[in-house]
Amino acid sequence: MTSDRSLIISTDSLKGGPPIIIDAVPKAVARPVYHFIKTDTAQVVIRHINDKALKHFADDPTFDYTEEKSHATNWWDKFWEWFWHLFQNSTQNESTRYSIPYLSYIFWIAIGAFILFVIIKFATSNGINIFNRGSMQISDIQTGAVEDINQINFDQEIEKALEQGNYRLAVRLLFLSSLKQLNDAGLINWRADKTNSAYLNEITDTDQRQVFTAITRQFEYVWYGEFSIDGDSFQNIHGLFNRFKQMLP
Amino acid sequence: MEQDFFEQRTDLSQLNEAVNLIKTTLGKIIVGQQDTIELLITGLLADGHMLIEGVPGIAKTLTAKLLAKSIDAQFSRIQFTPDLMPSDVLGTSIFNPKTADFEFKKGPIFGNIILIDEINRAPAKTQAALFEVMEERQITIDGHSFKMEEPFVVLATQNPVDQEGTYRLPEAQLDRFLFKIEVKYPTLEEEIAIITQQHQQKTTDQLVEVSAVLSSQQIIEMRKQIRNLHVEPRLLEFTAKVIQETRKNSSLYLGGSPRASLAIVNASKAIAAINGRDFVTPEDIIRVTPSVLRHRIMLTPEKEMEGISPDEVVAQIFQKIEIPR
């Protein structure tokens, strides 16, 4: 600091605060700060707020800044409270204010639809047909309609087929009845898309496998090969099926 | 427990004997690969062309050459290269100064068993030359049609398309192959057997040991027999349902063609005959379908990115369709 300059200090130092050096000016022009400050002589007019107008604003919920206290106790509730708050804020305007409850229904429906879509997509990509009870159904040979092996009265149907002399159908029913028995006994897991070899591989008992191989062969010759079959041949095949039935628990 | 209550309608004993003879002949040199060999014989009997795919060095060409050698028929081999021209395959008209006329010089495609090695190393232009001959068994050049002699079988080998220097075959050509047979690496036991066999071998040419066991005429007779095998109408419906499903499956952008349906039925008949039956079962259809479809169906780009194979999609399709019984 040179001797021909005096200090200008901030106004805070006049209120008893520590002196702050702002700048140094030549000694000849140095004067106290209050010499620069002018006094405001303008007349102050006090304005009062109209009570009616104040009440109007006070009643308007837009100006209600009171924050509702959270009732959420865990993070999951807090998340949903936050979500709904966000949801309402983003949708609340004059046109939608009264439709908020409906919007929440729409939201839940959308969530449900999305979950359903994900399930269907997953099932489809894994080859599962969730809308079809196909896993327990087979085609009816004569009508082409879908039938459930659990719903067929095999004894009655076989008797009916034999009365009509339809030995081919009778062999088919005997084979299906054997599959049902195997499934009921838990020896195979019946599914409409499985092949006879797949069932054969599921049977672990050697004797049962051997006889099942034989009845499958007869079924295939009669059913897929459409070999003609008479009463005598049917009796022989029937005997084989009976033998297999007796082997099952 | 092989009690049969039915007399055979068709005598398949000769056919079965011939098949066993081919299997034995090929089995002398090829270790393992029973599945490949069975499909090759099936394709041969079903009057189809076969595409054999696999990484280099797994005896694709050797297997095809052995199969060709086991049949007494005219064999020709074409090595497909990037600069191969259609005329190199089909033949070309050459001017004969003596007669002052053009003479057609037959290309290597004229034969009974045609081995096309590394088929996907030639561009689309050359591949297109095979369209007519593979489907119609004839070629048309300079306004003249030349019929191929029966049997006419194209055995093509290729490396997977992601390998260096390979082209993707046109869909139209792929559809003309009855089967695409994928040859896998041998198991440890098989690999040891391959090395041991090679080590003990006295001659370098393995093909010397193989002689023809089947004539062209026998193949023609067997094919006639197979064409007459019985297919229950519901199994035809089952086949059609499988193909229809490929056309609406979300994992596929190209499904199977009607030619694929016919291929499944023909191949199923052949495999039924090989198994000694004169009728087709659902298992025959399920057995041949992946080989018939894997080169015909095209995955969507998303599924391709996911690494799903056409065989997996075919397996999923079978899970959706009820087996007729």
Q: Say yes or no: A61 contacts chain B, CB-CB below 8 A.
A: no
Q: Cα dist. B12→A39, A210, A218, B270, B281 in Å?
A: 126, 25, 19, 11, 17
Highest mean pLDDT among A99-103, A136-140, B8-12, B253-257: B253-257
Alpha-carbon span A5 to A23, nearest angstrom = 10
3-class SS at B168?
A: coil
Q: Which residues contact A146 (CB under 8 A, 6 or more apart)?
A: A134, A137, A138, A139, A140
Query: Given CB atoms, is A147 within the 8 Å cutoff of chain B?
Result: no
According to the model, what pLDDT value does residue B49 have? 94
pLDDT, one tens digit per residue, over B109-146 is: 999 999 999 998 998 888 988 999 999 999 998 888 99
Question: Where does residue B69 rank: exposed (0-12), middle (13-18), buried (19+ CB within 10 A)?
Answer: buried
Burial of A163 per CB tally in 10 Å (0-12, 13-18, 19+): exposed
Q: CA torsion angle for A141, A145, A149, A155 (degrees, to 10)?
A: -60
Q: Is a pLDDT exceeding 90 seen at residue B213?
A: no
Task: Kindly tell me if the per-residue pLDDT of B221 is higher than 70.
Answer: yes
Q: How far is A70 from chain B (nearest CA, A)?
A: 45
Least confident of A2-16, B49-63, B306-320: A2-16
Is A189 within 8 Å of chain B by CB? Answer: no
| Domains assigned to chain B | 1-200+213-228 (3.40.50.300), 229-325 (1.10.8.80)
The DSSP element (H or E) to which B140 belongs, if any, is strand B138-141
- A236/B5 touch (CB, cutoff 8 Å), yes or no: yes
Minimum distance, in Å, between the CA of residue B11 and any CA atom of chain A: 15
Low-confidence stretches of chain A (pLDDT < 50) are: 1-3, 132-146
Structure tokens at B314: 């075919």
**Residue A10 · residue A22 · CB < 8 Å:** yes
Cβ within 8 Å of residue B269, ≥6 positions away: B46, B226, B227, B229, B231, B280, B284
B183-242 residues touching A, CB cutoff 8 A: 230, 232, 234-235
Over pLDDT 70: what percentage of chain B?
97
Q: How far apart are CA A170 and CA B2, in angstroms?
A: 21
Cβ A195–B282 below 8 Å, yes or no?
A: yes
**What's the CA gap between A108 and B284, in Å, rounded?**
50
Give CB contacts under 8 A, 24+ apart, made by A111-120.
none
Q: A34 in the Ramachandran plot: left (φ > 0), alpha (ψ -120 to 50) or beta? A: alpha
Nearest-angstrom CA–CA distance, B261 and B293: 9
Taking alpha carbons only, the member of A218, A224, A220 closest to residue A238 is A218
Smallest CA–CA distance, residue A110 to chain B, in Å, is 24
Flag if B322 and A192 touch (Cβ within 8 Å): yes
In chain A, domain spans: 5-35, 88-131, 140-247
CA distance A203 to chain B (A): 16
Nearest CA to A197 out of B265, B283, B147 is that of B283
For residue B104, give the H/E element and its range: strand B101-106
pLDDT-derived band at B2 (thresholds 50, 70, 90) equals low
Tokens 């306004």 correspond to B143
Tokens of B315: 């397996």
| Cβ contact, residue pair B283, A196, below 8 Å | yes
Distance CA A177, CA A211 (A): 15
Q: Identify which of B258, B252, B245 has the alpha carbon closest to the alpha carbon of residue B310.
A: B252
Question: Do residues B198 and B186 lie in contact, with contact meaning Cβ atoms separated by under 8 Å?
Answer: no
Mean predicted lDDT score pLDDT of chain B: 89
Assess whether pLDDT exceeds 80 at residue B226. Answer: yes
Report the percentage of chain B scoring pLDDT > 90. 53
Residue B262 CB partners (closer than 8 Å, separation 6+): none
A225: contact with B, CB 8 A cutoff:
yes
Flag the least confident range among A127-131, B55-59, B194-198, B277-281.
Answer: A127-131
Neighbouring-strand partners of residue A7: A24
Which residues of A are less than 8 Å from B6 in CB distance?
221, 225, 227, 233
Find tokens 């792929």 and name the residue.
B174
pLDDT confidence of residue A7: 54
Residues in chain B: 325
Q: Which of B230, B283, B316 is the closest to A226 by Cβ?
A: B230
A121 to chain B: nearest residue by CA?
Answer: B250
The confidence score (pLDDT) of residue A220 equals 92
The answer to whether the Cβ–Cβ distance between A225 and B278 falls below 8 Å is yes
The CATH number fitting domain A140-247, selected from 3.30.43, 1.10.3470, 1.10.10, 1.20.120: 1.20.120
Contact B323 A237 (CB under 8 A): no
Alpha-carbon gap, residue A99 to A112, rounded angstroms: 20
| Interface confidence (ipTM) of the complex | 0.83
Task: List all residues of chain A from 30 to 59 with a beta carbon under 8 Å from chain B.
Answer: none
- What is the model's pLDDT at position A248? 82
Nearest to B286 among A195, A211, A233 (CB): A195
Taking a C-beta distance cutoff of 8 angstroms, is the pair A241, A172 a contact? no
Q: Name the DSSP letter for residue A186.
A: T
Residues whose CB falls within 8 Å of the CB of residue B74, separated by 6 or more in sequence, listed in order: B111, B112, B113, B149
CB-hemisphere CA count at 13 Å for B302? Answer: 5
- Which of B9, B282, B322 has the CB atom closest to A134's CB atom? B322
